[in-house]
Structure formats: structure tokens, C-alpha cells
Structure 1
Amino acid sequence: MNGSSLAIRQRSLGDPSIEFPLSPPLTRGCPRTSTDEIAYPVEVVYDYARLDKGLFDQAPGPDIGRWSPLLPPLEAPTLGEGGTPLLEFDGIYLKDESQNPTWSHKDRLNRVAISAALTEGAPGVVVASSGNHGASTAAYAARAGLPAIVLASAQSPAGVQAFVRAYGAQVYSVPVDERWPLLREIVDRLGYHPISNQTVTHTGHPYGPEGYKTIAYELFLQLGRVPAAVFAPTGYAELLFGTWKGFTELRLLGLAGATPRMFSCEPAAGGPNARALAEGTPAAIVELGASEAYGIAGSVGGHRGVLAVRDSGGEAVLVTDEEMRAAQRDLARQGVWQELSGAAGLAGYRKLRRDFDGPVVCIGTSSGFKDMGVGEEVFPVRAGLTVADLAP
């Protein structure tokens, strides 16, 4: 570890002048600014004046505990999250988050969120998730010795549901519209710590997105500078916001002179973040169409993504399943198999067709093993083959 946490309080994103003690985590958003229509998240505030900037002299590597002064208190043991590779493809970069312990970016969030459950003395944790988040929560809870309940979508791939169950969590496949009411009941009656959202628009866990700041720290060290633009697959926009906040801290600390423009890349079948930005609202709820990018396809947005895009001078980009598949195929041909949702960043960059004065980073969030239909296709055995039968 590199010192104790400098986290000192929570602050409303609806009104930054409103502050709360650091504990307990406000898992249902800001109680003073939220309404029946819009829920505002809170964020963690740090005593930056006490930070030893030598923290950024280290090389990036696994275990986000290396950044502990700029994270909430880390009580959960590591699984070696972070330190993921930055790969160059055709003049841009891919930050490959599929190289995390459970093969997705969610491990950074869960190291922090499970730590909060331990700090608060919770008897267990509960999460509603279609895949990556549930698997990561189950893994980090198991590592920390905490019981976990995962409310999985009945439509999520069978392989992903098996992946979640492998860590020993109690996993229940329930209809999507029943997950949040059941989660709230588990929190209220059993005292379990919620690792996912409970509110009308997304607030999620207040500490969790802080883990994504470490992506910004790593990119800064891997590139030797701040990128000009970052394209992130976006559902609830916790990844987008956390990465953006990490870059704003680097500027605040005087380590970087600029911040990148942040681009949210959502499935065209939904796009609540794009809707909120277009309409100038804090967050939006939209009707969701069909998409196989189930990891980021959602009808409910949150205020974090709006802040990250708006304050960075970025844009919201809507991408189709076909555009994501094309990006997924091209990455696979260069040795990286991303989940369809994980290819949304590259698809968004290609769709925007914009030149930038500096490096461009697309975040790839998860392994292709998590996709719909993976492992279901049966391939025939072909006996008696000779070289003449092989494709050139």
C-alpha cells in the first residue's frame, strides 16, 4: 500500500455545496436534492493538500491499492485488479480491461465497493446485474469472506450465469422489472450492503466509481501524458465518470495541464445518456429496443455521465449492434476478443470520424466469452482432411 486513504466526506452531484460525512455510504443518492423523477448521486471528496505527489512516480501495475490515498478506505483483499495493458491499433489505443481478474472493468469498482461493505460491518452484499457486475461482486465478496446475493437477469447468457455461480454466491434469475424491488427488500430487511442501483435514475454505489479513477492514472503514466479523447462503452456511465474524475484530479494536483474530452458510446437501441445531453436534463429514462450489447443496453441513465461528457467538452455517440460487431471483429483479428458491449468505444470513435490533437484511447471493457450465444454453437468433426481440403 502507498499510505492511508485521504477520503474525508461525500458531496452531492446535484448541488456540490451540500456535503455529508464519509460514512455511511449514501447508496440511495443525495437525500436533499433527489426527487421522485431524478436521483442525484454523491461523490467522494479528498484532502488533496496532504497528498504526496510521489504517488505518481510509480509504474502502473496490478492491485489498485497502489493508489490508496486517492481511494476510499480499501479493506477488501485484492485479486490483482488494474494494471491492464494499453495496446496500439491503427493509430489509436485500446485500454484492455478484459485482462482484469474476472475479465472486466467491474473489478476496479468492486474492490472499492466490497471494501465499503466490510467497513460498515454488513452481513453480506447484494447486487442486481446482467453479467459482469454480478460476477465481479461475487468474486470480491468471496475473497473477502462475505455472503453475496446476485439477482441476475433471466435473459443473461447461461455461460455468464454459470460464471457468477462459480464463486459461491446465491444467484437468482428473476425478471428485470422485479430485480430492483427485491434488491431494496434485501437491503431493508436483511441489512445487506447494496453494490448496485436502488433509485429511479441511476446513483449506484457512491464509492464504486472511484475505482475507475485508476484507469486515468494508468493511462497518464502509460502514455506519458493525458490523452486528447477517451471513448468509453456506456450504460450507467460509472466508468465514464470515474475515468473523467481521475483526469480532473491530475489537473487539480498540477500533474497535467489538460483533461481529455470524454465520449459516451451507447447502444442506439436505448441511449439515456445521449437523450439527457440532447435535452439538457440531469438524467433520462428511455424506451429500450432490442440489442445484443446487454452489458450496456439500458433504459435508465444517471447524472454522472451527463457531467463527464458536458464538463469535458465531449459528446454522446449512439452505435448500432452492427457497428459494434464490426469493431469487435477487427479487434479479434488483431488478437483481442472483446464482448460486444466492450467494442462500443471503438465503434463510437469510428462513427464520429473526428481528428484529435493527441492520443485517442478507446476502453475495451470485457472478454468476448461473456457474449450472447458463446459456447452454444456446435462445430462438426471433419475426418480424413488433407492439406488440399484446407482453406488458403
Structure 2
Amino acid sequence: MNGPSLAIRQRSLGDLTAEFPLFPPLTRGCPKSSTDEIAYPLEVGYDYARVDPGLFDQTPGTDIARWSPLLPPLAAPTLGEGGTPLVEFEGIHFKDESRNPTWSHKDRLNRVTVSAALAAGAPGVVVASSGNHGASAAAYAARAGLRAIVLTSADSPPAVQAFARAYGARVVSVPAEARWPLLREVVDRLGYHPVSNQTVTHTGHPFGPEGYKTIAYELFLQLGQAPAAVFTPTGYAELLYGVWKGFVELKLLGLTGTTPRMFACEPAADGPHARALATGAPAAIVETFPSAAYGIAGPVGGHRGVLAVRDSGGEAVLVTDEEMRLAQRDLAGQGLWQELSGAAGVAGYRKLRREFGGPVVCVGTSSGFKDLGVGAQTYPVLEHPTLDDLRA
């Protein structure tokens, strides 16, 4: 540990003058600035004047509690999240978040949100998820001695459902449109702590992106500087915003003079953040079309991603399933197997192919084991194999 949390408040991203106590986490967005059409998320504010500059005189390692002064209070025990490798790939740097305990970036978020559930005295956590988030929340809840309910869709990968069940979670498949009303009922009637979105546009848990900030801290130490550009797979943009906020804090603390341009890499089948940025809206809901990148595909965007891209001078990049599959294949050819969604950052970088005047980082979010159809393929068996068979 590096000292107690210096978190002091929640602040609305829709009205920066609207501030609230740190607890309870306002999981249904800002009650002052949100409307029926747009929900504004909150972020956590800190007493930055009390941050010891020596906090960053360390090497990256597992357990994000190494950054505890710049995180909300961490009541939940660690599973060894963080400290993921930075691998060179095609002249850029690939931050491989599949090396976390449940093989995805969501472990950073759930260490923080499950801590909030413990602080609230909740009997458990509830999450609406078809993939990484549900499995990660189940694991961290189990480690903390809490129950977990995972509301998933019927077409989510069976292997991922089994992953969540292995941690003792109650996994329930329901129609997509029923997940969020049922989640709210679990929160209101059973007192479970929600660790996924409950609002018309995305707000999510106000503490969640704080866990993702630690990716920025690690990148700063791994590179010895802030990168020039960061490309992230983007669904609800909590990851994108968290990484951006981490670099903003590093500049605020005087540790770097620059911040990277942030690129939101979304499936071409939807792209709510691209729509919001193109129209000047604070957030957008769009029509969606089928995509195999189920981890980031969806019609609902949020204000966090719009802020991160706009304020950093970045862009939203729409990538097709084919572009992600090519990036996924080439990453695997270098020993980096990502699920299709996890390859969106590399696909987005390849689509732009620009010079940024400094290091470029693409974040990979999750293991290829979690993709649709993995494990369902069958392969021929050589009953009496010969060397000629192998050559063939």
C-alpha cells in the first residue's frame, strides 16, 4: 500500500459545479444535471495537493493498490490485477490487458466497484453483462465474500457463462431488453450494489473508470513518458475515459508536460460516440447492426467518451468486423491472442496510419478464449499418422 485514499468527492461531468459526497456512489448519474434524454456520469475528485510525488518512483506491478492515494478506498482484496505487459507490435506498443486475473481489463474496474459494494454493506453485486464484465465481477465478489448476480443474454458465449458460474455467481439468461429493468429491481428490492449501467445514456458506476486510470500510470512508467496517441476498443468508453483521466492527472501533478490524443475504436455496426462527436451532442443512441465484436457492440454511448476524445484532440474511428479479424489474426501470429473486440484498437490505428510524433499505444482488452464460437469447432483426427500426413 502507498497510503490511504485521497478521494474526497464525486463531481458531475455534466455540470462541473455539481459536487456530492464520495459516498454513496451515485450509480444512476448526476441527479442535478441529468434529464430524461441524457444522463451525465460522475467522476471522483481527489486532494491532489497531498499526493506524494514519490508515488511514481516505482515499477509497474500487480495489485492496483500501489496507486491507492489516487483511487477510491480499496476494501476488496486483490486478485493480482494490473502490471500488464507492453509489447512491441508493428512499430507500436500493445498493452495486453488479457494478462489480468480473469483475462480482461475489467478486473481493474471491479477491484474498485466491489470495494464500493463492501463499503456500502451490500449483500452482493449485480451486473448486466454478456462477457468480461460479468465474469470479472463474479470473481472479485467471490474473493470479497459477496454474492453475485449476472444478468446475461441467451446468445452470450457458453464458455463465458461457465466462467462466471465457476466463481459461484448466479447467472441468469434474459432477453436483452429485460436486463436493465430487472437489474434495477434487484438493486431496489434486494439491496445489491450495481456495477453496470442503469441510465438512458451510459453513466455506469462513478468509481469504475478510476480503476482504468492505472493503465495510464503504468504506461507512463513503462515508456518513460506519456504516449502521443492511445487507441482503445470502445463500447461504453469507461476504459477510454479512465486512461485519459490518468494522463490528465499525471500532467496536473507535474510529472509530464503532455497528454496523448485518445482514439475511440468502435464497431462500424453502431458507433454512438462517433455520432455524438459528429453532431456535437453530449451522448448518442444509435441504430445497431450485427457485429461479432459483442464486447463493444451496442447502441448506447455516454458523455465520458465524448469528453475524452474531444478534449484530447482525438477521434472516433469506426472499424469493421473484417478489419478487427485481420488485426486479431496478426496479433495471434505474434503470440497475442485477443478476442475480436480486443483487437479494435490495432484495427483503428491501422485504419488511420498516421505519424503522431511519439509513441503510439493500442490497448488490447481480453483473451481470445472469450470470443463467440471458441471451442465449438471440430478438427480431423489422424488415426494412423505418418510424416507424410504432417507434411500435408
TM-score grouping bracket, smaller chain normalisation: over 0.9
Distance in 2 between residues matched to 1:154 and 1:203, nearest whole Å: 25
Mapped to 2, the partners of 1:356 and 1:51 lie a distance apart of 31
Question: 1:98, 1:43 → 2: CA distance?
Answer: 26
Letter in 2 for 1:74: L
Aligned to 1:151: 151
1:146-189 CA distance string (max 9 Å, x none): 01111011111111111111100111011111000000011111
Question: Within 5 Å, which residues of 2 pair with 1:179-190?
Answer: 179-190=179-190
1:1-392, aligned counterparts within 5 Å?
1-391=1-391
TM-score (structure 1 length as normaliser): 0.99
Which stretch shifts more, 65-74 or 351-360? 351-360
Q: CA deviation at 1:17?
A: 1.1
Q: TM-score, normalised by structure 2?
A: 0.99
Q: Distance in 2 between matches of 1:11 and 1:227?
A: 27
Q: CA deviation at 1:390?
A: 2.3
Cα separation, 2, equivalents of 1:247 and 1:380:
50
Alignment RMSD: 0.7
Residue 362 of structure 2 aligns with an amino acid whose one-letter code is C
Give 1:201's aligned amino acid: T
- How many residue pairs end up in the alignment? 392
Q: Secondary structure at the match of 1:390?
A: helix
Amino acid at match of 2:381: V
How far is the alpha carbon of 1:236 from its aligned partner? 0.1
Deviation at residue 326 of structure 1 after TM alignment: 0.1
1:328-350 residue CA offsets vs partner (Å, 9 max, x unmatched): 00000000100000000000000
C-alpha distance in 2 between matches for 1:168 and 1:207: 24
1:354: how far off? 1.1
Percent identity reads: 80
| TM-aligned CA deviation for residue 389 of structure 1 | 2.4
Structure 1: give runs of 5+ residues left out of the alignment.
none
Separation (CA, whole Å) in 1 of partners of 2:21 and 2:325:
45
- Shift, 1:247, TM fit: 0.2
- Give the aligned residue type for 1:128: A
DSSP-derived class of the 1:44 partner: strand
The separation in 1 between residues aligned to 2:120 and 2:9, in whole angstroms, is 15
SS of residue matched to 1:82: coil
**Separation (CA, whole Å) in 2 of partners of 1:337 and 1:19:** 42
- Measure the CA separation in 1 of the matches of 2:159 and 2:50: 46
Query: Which AA in structure 2 matches 1:52?
Result: D
Deviates more, 1:228-237 or 1:119-128: 119-128
